[in-house]
A and B are shown apart, each in its own frame.
Chain A
Amino acid sequence: MPRQAAVESDAAGQPLSVDGEDVDAVRESWLVEDRWWTDQPLRRRYWEVVTTGGRNVVVYRDLVEQGWHRHA
């Protein structure tokens, strides 16, 4: 289950740090826009990043609610 994350990002929305760990590299970035016809529309910008600690982390910004989340 995704959980809330503390993410700092640049003007383009690219993460600079995730939960206090700096981002070393962006591996992938993708966009999900779906279920717009339902009561629970989905708009998320995903980032798969490698932190300076060497971890592969997937975070997303919820573009409807504007919060950051990370997958465990």
Chain B
Amino acid sequence: MCSMSYIELHCHSAYSFLDGASQPEELVAAALSRGHSALALTDHDSLSGSMEFAQAAKALGLRAIHGAEVTLDDGRHITLLVSDETGWRNLCRLLTVAHAHTRDGPQRDRSDPAVALEDVERHGEGLVCLSGCAARGVRDEPTMRRLIAIFGRERLRVELQRPLARHDRALNRGLVALAGRLGIATVATGNVHAHKAERALLQDALVAIANHTTLDACEPLRRGNHAHVLSTPRAMAARFADHPEAVAETQRLAERLTFDLTSDLGYRYPGAEDAGADRALAEVCQARFDERYPPGSKHRAHAAARLEEELRVIDGLGLAGFFLLHREILELAREVAVQVRGRGGARSLLPPGRGRGSSVSSIVCHLTGLSHVDPIANKLLLGRFLNEELTALPDIDLDFPRDIREVLIPRIHEVYGRERSALVAAFPTYRARGAIRELGKALGLPPGEIERVARGSEGWSARDVHRDIDSALGEGRRTGRWAWLARLAAEAQGLPRHLSQHSGGMIVATRPLVDCVPLVPAAMEGRQLAQWDKDSCSDAGFLKIDLLGLGMLSAVERCVEHVAVRRGECIDLSRIAFDDRATYECIQNADTTGVFQIESRAQMGSLRRTRPETLDDLTVQVAIVRPGPIVGGAVNPYIERRQRLRADPGYEVPYMHSSLQAPLRDTLGTIIFQDQVLEVAQAFAGFSVGEAEGLRRAMSRKRSAEAIEAHHRRFVQGATSLHPDVTEELAEQVFQMVSGFSGFGFPKAHGAAFGLLAYQSTWLRVHYGPEFLCSLLDEQPMGFYPPDALVHEAQRRGIEILAPDVNASAAGCEVTAGGAVRIGLGYVLGVRADEIAALVGAREAGGPFASLEDLGSRAGAGRPALERLAWAGACDALTGGDRRVALWQLGVAASAVNVRGREGTQLALALDLPAAPTLKALPAWEAMIADYATTGLTATTHPIGLLRSRLDGEGAVGIDALSRLAHGAQVRVGGLVVARQRPGTAKGVLFLLLEDEHGTVNVVVSPQVYERHRLAVRTEPLLLVEGRLERHASAGGAINVLARRVVRLQVPDRIAADVKDISPLDEAELARQAEIASAATGTDDFRAVAPAVQSFAAGRRR
């Protein structure tokens, strides 16, 4: 038997979610190393991994065959393989049909895809059908005869598998007999699920996860052995020694399956082939030119030259249709904006969206409305976005307020057709925490301990879970199931877990997209997804339009509305004063909590040093706290030079070479922006625009050492030959500066767009503080700080915050006539939006509630909702300010009050409740716990304020007192953790932002201290920190505490206010919360309700 005659035609990757255990490229590499010349990828009802597979195979020299294992509506499987382009189109359409009704349930939960044989019949051309796997394949004669009718005997094979399970030889003997009776050939396949033996173990665990059970409990569901690991052709041929014809058939069949996914799929975007597009685009630009650059204006001549140049480049690249398409979508957004905002409202003055990213540098984008930033006035160079040597489509990213984006996406589906438009998919992958939780459960480890390890984990690589286990549970867990957890998690790292939605990428096409890639319904109604992620879409040549939802845009629009309602002022944010002194004072003092981009702990530290004075400075500012400038060593030189220039306007900025003056003048000789990499490469090393862009790409995320090295040699050579005074040593130094930047930074155009929004949001905060806070609170989640911290900071600025009140609050937050911010009833967790609407409606219709009885009879909300409102203090005004009285009375009232039935709210008789017995008032600590448990924030006393006397006893000082202490003083500070960060650029140093009733302070935790107190640092919401106070003039006087010891802040004994016990809300959820709460540190009631804060790079977590 020829060992090479076997071709594997049935193989699953991890895109058979929770079934396959290997990445496509791992399968490709393993196949080559085991002597395969070709391999078919046949994931379950999905082509999500196909492009990745095709690209990896092409790069490494394996022939890729495409297909899918398709589920029939009776649960059986068939394996479909693509022979040609028609087959690919049909498979994409068939899988689209399979998924069409997978989100039809009331909650749009995902159900299993399936197709009827009639669907297969409609889409069978160009496909070869195998009869399916050993476990669930087709093996009855009537169905096989139907398949013959669809595919003919030429394109149908009886599939033989040998999973080394009991009875599979008998099964194969039966299948061979069936094939003989039907006159069709057999073919052998391996049903591969892993590329190496270690992943076969993981595959067992994935089966347990998929079935929500443990390894111990799912034996019948697992494969029983590891024969599904990709083997050698020789071994597979030996496994099928009884069926040599079936082995030989693999080769014969593979030769017919010639479809190449890396070839042109025929995708075109609308307008791509419009011969008149160049003229149309020029006309659109000219029509707006005089308005933007009127005759006699300062930049008119420059702008005209730039427009001519841009239109010439666009014409040369054939991209006019690309710009017109983006404009068309923006015009669509304009219609949507009118619908969402209304015609005459305060928001109607605002554009529907705005550009971000490098496209902001284009005057064509500016004139077509795709960018709100004037590239000429802001001195934005075009090269990064558009140049004659472009080889891929440029990116135009558009930001929209969330409400506009929500309506715009389904509108695009309507306008371009559901077959021709789709969102781009994303695939969340296994990282440490998810792997610990899911694999730990599969291994049957104690839930409390799993949660403790997960919470203590660094959160990124699942390859270091052994360290997380050591750290959380001690070093005694290095054997048995804990050791397996570490091993399995390391294997799972990076594997896709399920299909999700990209943040905003959308594809539109002239031909049906379903001919190129399967489309599936998204979780949100009215949206659909392509089965490919952005990389696969890019590899396919698809144009991705990014329609991003930007929370701050929504917040500023909401703020403008609040201002109009309360003060009758109509604000046009494009015409506000951009040199407002009060605004810049706040920015320079880092008084920026809540504003866009420049509010984070790191940004605040930087603001005190850079002290921005203009929009240009803010353009730099938003770009400076990025890995590129930090790793590239630009930040400190920039800040120091800025400080020296401020002290001495005659200070001469040093440049490494005179040719760098022009490109680096705005950033004082340092590289802050991506475009400067291009400019330096051109001015210093003589690169063309395209070569410089190639260098930037080589240094971007997918860094290639060889590619960078090629650019390196060319750079040094170019610089020394272009400039007689440049030595090789100097050229190397400049290259190090360039390569240090590495691409993790903003283009200047993006900095300008974001800097402008940073200014606008700060301006609103300064002049309309209560309205701005209201808007932030109602647009959560967004920004760096949780609502609790935003409220506390506003209180410190003198803004009064009023708790939710059933007689005063609306659903959202509002500014009162007196300028206080009233928290909306929507903030009370566990009360549904329709219940709030009914309550507010009843109040507006029938007047304020006179008593709890009245509330109970008119509110239209169920007992759980009323209890949550009472716990939140929203009923305090009805009971003399005592939550316990309210709860006692509700307990009586709710048993008799209205019940919402099918016919709507049932009217209830007025009740005459008995007076409550004498109840002890709710202690302050318990009221605070109840605030957090019900609204996620407290507007009364800060938790640290309640612990102040204890902290005083321990010698701790308030954060306000730190400013009065000298540099170097030993201090002890207690605080609520507002953020935890451990930037990759900080060499293991961790930063905590602590808050008490007086303010916030930055705590610096060295790697040594972190290792000693890791669990407290990572998981405790209330901390006591001992350390050294640091205050440097060069840091603008900012205070840090360099921690020596970090411990959990012990809360005094008290009676806990258990808001959960009396609520009949979802018991399973409460049990889950209780388990999580008790898992980490016992029964501390505060940790269970502490606000979710920025936790490392994982967003807000509790």
Q: Across the two chains, which residue of chain A brings its CB closest to B479?
A: A39
Q: Which residues of A contact B225 (CB under 8 A)?
A: 30-34
B169, A29: Cβ atoms closer than 8 Å: yes
Shortest distance from the beta carbon of B759 to any chain A beta carbon, whole Å: 57
A31 to B201, CA, bound (A): 15
A18 to B201, CA, bound (A): 32
Q: Which residues of B contact A28 (CB under 8 A)?
A: 166-170
A33, B169: Cβ atoms closer than 8 Å: no
Q: Which residues of B contact A39 (CB under 8 A)?
A: 480
A39 to B484, CA, bound (A): 12
- Determine if B288 is an interface residue (Cβ-Cβ < 8 Å): no
Q: Mark B1009-1046, 1 if CB is under 8 A from A, else 0.
A: 00000000000000000000000000000000000000
From A12, A33, A36, B224 is in contact (CB under 8 Å) with A33
Q: Mark A9-51, 1 if CB is under 8 A from B, else 0.
A: 0001000000000000001111111101101000000100000
- Determine if B227 is an interface residue (Cβ-Cβ < 8 Å): yes
A46, B166: Cβ atoms closer than 8 Å: yes
Q: Which residues of B contact A12 (CB under 8 A)?
A: 238
A30 to B167, CA, bound (A): 8
Q: Which residues of A contact B168 (CB under 8 A)?
A: 28, 30
Which residues in chain B, 437-460, are within 8 Å of chain A measured between CB atoms?
A: 443
Shortest distance from the beta carbon of B869 to any chain A beta carbon, whole Å: 48
Q: Which residues of A contact B443 (CB under 8 A)?
A: 37
Shortest distance from the beta carbon of A47 to any chain B beta carbon, whole Å: 11
B215, A37: Cβ atoms closer than 8 Å: yes
- Determine if B481 is an interface residue (Cβ-Cβ < 8 Å): yes
A46 to B164, CA, bound (A): 9
Q: Which residues of B contact A27 (CB under 8 A)?
A: 169-170
Residue picked from A12, A30, A39, A46, most chain B C-beta under 10 Å:
A30
Shortest distance from the beta carbon of B442 to any chain A beta carbon, whole Å: 9
Contact of A32 with B169 at beta-carbon distance under 8 Å, contacts A37-B215, A37-B443, A37-B481 already known: no
- Determine if B833 is an interface residue (Cβ-Cβ < 8 Å): no
Residue picked from B167, B204, B225, B480, most chain A C-beta under 10 Å:
B225
- Determine if B165 is an interface residue (Cβ-Cβ < 8 Å): yes
Q: Mark B584-618, 1 if CB is under 8 A from A, else 0.
A: 00000000000000000000000000000000000
B224, A32: Cβ atoms closer than 8 Å: yes
Shortest distance from the beta carbon of A33 to any chain B beta carbon, whole Å: 4
A30, B166: Cβ atoms closer than 8 Å: yes
Q: Which residues of A contact B165 (CB under 8 A)?
A: 30
A37, B164: Cβ atoms closer than 8 Å: no
| SS of A interface (majority) | strand
Q: Which residues of B contact A37 (CB under 8 A)?
A: 201, 215, 443, 481, 484
Contact of A31 with B227 at beta-carbon distance under 8 Å, contacts A37-B215, A37-B443, A37-B481 already known: yes
Shortest distance from the beta carbon of A46 to any chain B beta carbon, whole Å: 7
Q: Which residues of B contact A46 (CB under 8 A)?
A: 166
A36, B164: Cβ atoms closer than 8 Å: no
A37 to B204, CA, bound (A): 10
Q: Which residues of A contact B200 (CB under 8 A)?
A: 33
- Determine if B219 is an interface residue (Cβ-Cβ < 8 Å): yes
A12 to B241, CA, bound (A): 12
Shortest distance from the beta carbon of A45 to any chain B beta carbon, whole Å: 8
A28 to B167, CA, bound (A): 6
Shortest distance from the beta carbon of B618 to any chain A beta carbon, whole Å: 55
A30, B164: Cβ atoms closer than 8 Å: yes
Contact of A34 with B169 at beta-carbon distance under 8 Å, contacts A29-B164, A39-B480 already known: no
A36 to B442, CA, bound (A): 13
Q: Which residues of B contact A29 (CB under 8 A)?
A: 164, 169
- Determine if B883 is an interface residue (Cβ-Cβ < 8 Å): no
A56 to B484, CA, bound (A): 39
- Determine if B641 is an interface residue (Cβ-Cβ < 8 Å): no
Shortest distance from the beta carbon of B203 to any chain A beta carbon, whole Å: 11
A33, B226: Cβ atoms closer than 8 Å: yes
Q: Which residues of A contact B170 (CB under 8 A)?
A: 27-28
Residue picked from B164, B167, B168, B227, most chain A C-beta under 10 Å:
B164
Q: Which residues of A contact B204 (CB under 8 A)?
A: 36
From B167, B201, B227, B238, A36 is in contact (CB under 8 Å) with B201
- Determine if B222 is an interface residue (Cβ-Cβ < 8 Å): yes
Q: Mark B207-251, 1 if CB is under 8 A from A, else 0.
A: 000000001000100101111000000000010000000000000
Shortest distance from the beta carbon of A36 to any chain B beta carbon, whole Å: 6
Q: Across the two chains, which residue of chain A brings its CB closest to B487?
A: A37
A59 to B166, CA, bound (A): 13
A31, B480: Cβ atoms closer than 8 Å: no
Which residues in chain B, 481-516, are within 8 Å of chain A measured between CB atoms?
A: 481, 484
B166, A34: Cβ atoms closer than 8 Å: no
Which residues in chain B, 128-179, are within 8 Å of chain A measured between CB atoms?
A: 164-170
A34 to B225, CA, bound (A): 7
Shortest distance from the beta carbon of B426 to any chain A beta carbon, whole Å: 31
A34 to B204, CA, bound (A): 9
Q: Across the two chains, which residue of chain A brings its CB closest to B488?
A: A37
A46 to B219, CA, bound (A): 18
Shortest distance from the beta carbon of A42 to any chain B beta carbon, whole Å: 10
A72 to B1012, CA, bound (A): 60
Q: Across the two chains, which residue of chain A brings its CB closest to B164?
A: A31
Q: Which residues of A contact B484 (CB under 8 A)?
A: 37
Shortest distance from the beta carbon of A48 to any chain B beta carbon, whole Å: 8
A27 to B169, CA, bound (A): 8
Q: Which residues of B contact A34 (CB under 8 A)?
A: 219, 222, 224-225
Q: Mark B730-748, 1 if CB is under 8 A from A, else 0.
A: 0000000000000000000
A16 to B169, CA, bound (A): 19
A31 to B226, CA, bound (A): 8
Which residues in chain B, 1029-1073, are within 8 Å of chain A measured between CB atoms?
A: none
A16 to B926, CA, bound (A): 78
Q: Across the two chains, which residue of chain A brings its CB closest to B223?
A: A33
A32 to B378, CA, bound (A): 70
A36 to B483, CA, bound (A): 12
A32 to B219, CA, bound (A): 11
A29 to B164, CA, bound (A): 7
A36 to B197, CA, bound (A): 12
Residue picked from B166, B201, B238, B484, most chain A C-beta under 10 Å:
B166
A39 to B483, CA, bound (A): 12
A32 to B170, CA, bound (A): 18
A39 to B479, CA, bound (A): 10
Shortest distance from the beta carbon of A57 to any chain B beta carbon, whole Å: 15
Q: Which residues of A contact B166 (CB under 8 A)?
A: 28, 30, 46
Q: Mark B176-209, 1 if CB is under 8 A from A, else 0.
A: 0000000000000000000000001100100000
Residue picked from A30, A32, A36, A37, most chain B C-beta under 10 Å:
A37
Q: Which residues of A contact B167 (CB under 8 A)?
A: 28, 30
Q: Across the two chains, which residue of chain A brings its CB closest to B222?
A: A34
A29 to B241, CA, bound (A): 13
A12 to B238, CA, bound (A): 10
Q: Across the two chains, which residue of chain A brings its CB closest to B167?
A: A28
Q: Which residues of B contact A36 (CB under 8 A)?
A: 201, 204
A46 to B481, CA, bound (A): 27
Residue picked from A27, A29, A33, A36, most chain B C-beta under 10 Å:
A33
Q: Which residues of A contact B481 (CB under 8 A)?
A: 37
Q: Across the two chains, which residue of chain B brings its CB closest to A37?
A: B484
Q: Which residues of A contact B201 (CB under 8 A)?
A: 36-37
Q: Which residues of B contact A30 (CB under 8 A)?
A: 164-168, 225
A13 to B219, CA, bound (A): 26
A30 to B170, CA, bound (A): 12
Q: Which residues of A contact B215 (CB under 8 A)?
A: 37
Q: Which residues of B contact A33 (CB under 8 A)?
A: 200, 224-226
Shortest distance from the beta carbon of B693 to any chain A beta carbon, whole Å: 51
B contact residues vs A (CB 8 Å cutoff): 164-170, 200-201, 204, 215, 219, 222, 224-227, 238, 443, 480-481, 484
| A and B contact pairs by CB, cutoff 8 A, 7 listed | A12-B238, A28-B167, A32-B224, A33-B226, A34-B219, A34-B225, A46-B166
Known: A30-B164, A33-B200; 6 extra A-B contacts, CB below 8 A, are: A27-B169, A28-B168, A30-B225, A31-B225, A33-B224, A34-B225
Closest 5 A-B residue pairs measured CB to CB? A31-B164, A33-B225, A31-B225, A30-B166, A37-B484
